[in-house]
Amino acid sequence: MKYEKIQAPKGVSEYAPPLSAAFEWVRESLISPAKLAGYQLMELPVFEDTSLFSRGVGESTDVVSKEMYTFEDRGGRSITLRPEGTAGVMRAVIEKGLDRGQLPVKVWYSGAFFRAERPQAGRFRQFYQVGIEAIGLDDPAIDAEVIAIADQGFKSLGLKNYRLEITSLGDAQSRAAHRVDLLKFISKLDLDEATAARAAINPLRLFDDKRPEMKAAMAGAPLLLDYLSENSAQNFKAVKAYLDQLGIEYLVNPRMVRGLDYYTGTTFEFIHEGLGAQSGIGGGGRYDGLMEILGGQALSGIGFGLGVDRALLAAQAEGVLVENQFSSDLFIIPLGENQMSACLSIAAKLRTAGIRTEIAFGDRALKGAMKAADKSGSRYVIVLGDSELASGSVELKRMSDGSTRSVKIDQLQSVLLGDL
Q: Cα separation of 340 and 333, whole Å?
A: 9
Ligand-binding annotation for 3, yes or no, is no
β-strands 357-359, 280-286: how paired? unpaired
**CB-based contacts of 74, cutoff 8 Å, min separation 6:** none
Rg (CA), the chain: 27
Q: Is the dihedral of CA 89, 304, 296, 54 positive or negative?
A: negative
Provide the edge-to-edge strand list for the sheet that holds 404-408.
357-359, 330-334, 380-384, 393-398, 404-408
Task: Name which of 33, 35, 27, 51 is nearest 129 in CA terms.
Answer: 27
Ligand-binding annotation for 258, yes or no, is yes
Ligand-binding annotation for 404, yes or no, is no
Ligand-binding annotation for 133, yes or no, is yes
Ligand-binding annotation for 85, yes or no, is yes
Ligand-binding annotation for 58, yes or no, is no
Ligand-binding annotation for 193, yes or no, is no
Enumerate the known binding-site residues. Answer: 84-86, 115, 129, 133, 258, 262-263
Enumerate the known binding-site residues for L-histidine. Answer: 84-86, 115, 129, 133, 258, 262-263
